[in-house]
A and B are shown apart, each in its own frame.
Chain A
Amino acid sequence: MSHVDVRFEAVTKTFRLGGVRNVKEHVLGVSGHRAKPVRIEAVHELSLEITSGEAVALLGHNGSGKSTTLKMLAGTVAPTSGRIWARGRIAPLLELGSGFHPDLTGRENIFLNAAILGIRRRETAARLDDIVAFAEVDTFLDTPVKFFSSGMSARLGFAIAVNVDPDILIVDEVLAVGDENFQEKCLDRMQSFKRDGRTVILVTHSYDQAAAFCERALVLDHGRLTFDGPAAEAEPAYHASSRATASSSPAQRS
């Protein structure tokens, strides 16, 4: 029994680059000294549906609109037009570990991060052991997070996200941080998520990883959906999109 978990309806997001930034520029902008700001369409008329239990890979080069798409799904960036629907709890793993407060200990950050994801303190306490065991940070639990290695922060971030009982799990480039052992564990956990009928959205640069784990792939190119189908068939579209930008603007970042 499956149902729609995520729905994008003609979602467009435009950013204004070089826009008016301070009072001085406000004044100058009005008096015509400043060039008109450049509008960038990060995502263009994106429509898609994701059903529960699906593992979807979101592929695209830097600046293709992946991160913007995910931020809109996570609700931290508002679309310029169009609507986004989602069901249940979304656990976003955007820019891992960035939500941690460096001066607080691992334990304090676990409770805080779980609270942000909507988990009550008591429930977090019950899951603490699972989180710590998964992240393999038990000896560092009462150490401020600023002393964690980037791998440890990433592991802790992932461990929290998968232990808050999400309906939709967004995994953004996580697998690039952990070591092989941990990557395997993450993939295992994501597999069991799929079996539970949860939705996993995996963002990656690695086509092989996408094909190995996901049945379905979406390829974004300059904010447009250029491919939506079986992950095994996504390779040509993905490489076409990468090549196109590699020649035009190699240093572009999302």
Chain B
Amino acid sequence: MTSTTTALPPLRLVNEPAQLWRGTGADLVDIWRHRELLKALAGRELRSRYKGSTFGWAWALVRPLVMLLIYGLAVGVFLGAGRAIPQFMVFIYAGLLGWTLFSTVVMGCLSTVVSNGTLLTRANFPRLLLPLASVAAAMVDFVLQASVLLVAYAIVQDVPGALDVLWVLPALYVLMTFGLGLGLALAAINVYIRDVGFLTDVALQVGFWVTPIIYSYGQVVRGARDFGVAADFATRLYMLNPMANVTIGFQRALWPAGTSDAAREFAFPGQLGLRLLIFSLVGTVVAWLGMRVYVRLGANFGQAL
């Protein structure tokens, strides 16, 4: 044992009261200092998830692939949407990829706080690390799921342009900021009001259908024409959903047929770059707010869990 003769560590305040508006910088520094723990927690999340299952990692692919098959068959073939949208399966998968990540991030934040209750009551470490670790684990799944696209490109014998793929970056940023901001705030409130978890589950179901994943933006515009004079307003309202913009960004990046002029005309709204920029700014604020709410309410997790 070594430490006693070295310089005395200072007497410091245990559990400094968390404030809503201040302390962001200190929290970020704290996370950076605990980056090894963040890695360990993310590793635990990944290792424990598929432990004891024979197919292990393959399960990360099963959910999106099954959804792809169901929607590809039901919507693409039976409802005939596949005739209107070229490379329909790739189109759906690009959207599913983003949506799966978004819902995993949001639900991951919620479940990690509840399932790690004992850890939170027992040890004092930055509370933000748990949801961040679950987000990191979700990112690993995302990369795994994205690799399926390579197979898809081989099948349709088409690849997106190298520059087009870059659209993923702003779309991912918007997805992450909104997902993390909402996930953190909801996770913290869920500790005190357990209905929030169920509500979030339902809201995500609704969210899936008001996001152009298994239909295209062009079909939304056409559908909105039924509203007559309010058509333009209805489309605008629809596009207030950040995930609608994110999904379109994903399709723009990862769906090779999207680069053809014809497809571009009916699949994407104008000024996609500007839209994603605005949502990036709003998302940054949402992420910050979610983090503050989480930190503020997190000070008492030890007693509420």
Binding site for B on A (CB under 8 A): 3-5, 7, 15, 21-24, 26, 71-79, 83-90, 92, 94-95, 98-99, 101, 103-104, 108, 111-112, 115-118, 120-121, 144, 165, 167, 192, 196-198
Report yes or no: B122 in contact with A115, Cβ–Cβ below 8 A: no
Chain B 6-49 interface residues, beta-carbon cutoff 8 Å to A: 8-15, 17, 34, 36-37, 40-41, 44, 47-48
B125 contacts A by Cβ under 8 Å: yes
Shortest CB–CB separation between residue A54 and chain B, in angstroms?
A: 14
Report yes or no: A86 in contact with B12, Cβ–Cβ below 8 A: yes
Report yes or no: B41 in contact with A71, Cβ–Cβ below 8 A: no
Report yes or no: A73 in contact with B123, Cβ–Cβ below 8 A: no
Chain B 92-144 interface residues, beta-carbon cutoff 8 Å to A: 118-125
Report yes or no: B44 in contact with A167, Cβ–Cβ below 8 A: no
Interface size class of B (residues with CB under 8 A): 35 or more
Residues of B contacting A84 with CB < 8 Å?
A: 13-15
Residues of B contacting A89 with CB < 8 Å?
A: 9
B273 contacts A by Cβ under 8 Å: no
Report yes or no: B123 in contact with A92, Cβ–Cβ below 8 A: yes
Report yes or no: A21 in contact with B194, Cβ–Cβ below 8 A: yes
Identify the interface centre among B12, B52, B123, B194: most chain A CB within 10 Å of its CB.
Answer: B123
Binding site for A on B (CB under 8 A): 1-4, 8-15, 17, 34, 36-37, 40-41, 44, 47-48, 51-52, 118-125, 193-195, 299-303
Residues of B contacting A87 with CB < 8 Å?
A: 8-12
Residues of A contacting B301 with CB < 8 Å?
A: 76
Report yes or no: A26 in contact with B303, Cβ–Cβ below 8 A: no
Report yes or no: B122 in contact with A198, Cβ–Cβ below 8 A: no
A-B contact list, 28 entries, CB within 8 Å: A7-B11, A22-B193, A22-B194, A24-B195, A74-B122, A74-B123, A75-B15, A76-B302, A77-B300, A78-B300, A79-B15, A86-B12, A86-B14, A87-B12, A88-B9, A89-B9, A92-B124, A94-B121, A95-B121, A98-B118, A99-B123, A104-B48, A108-B44, A115-B37, A115-B40, A165-B2, A165-B3, A198-B4
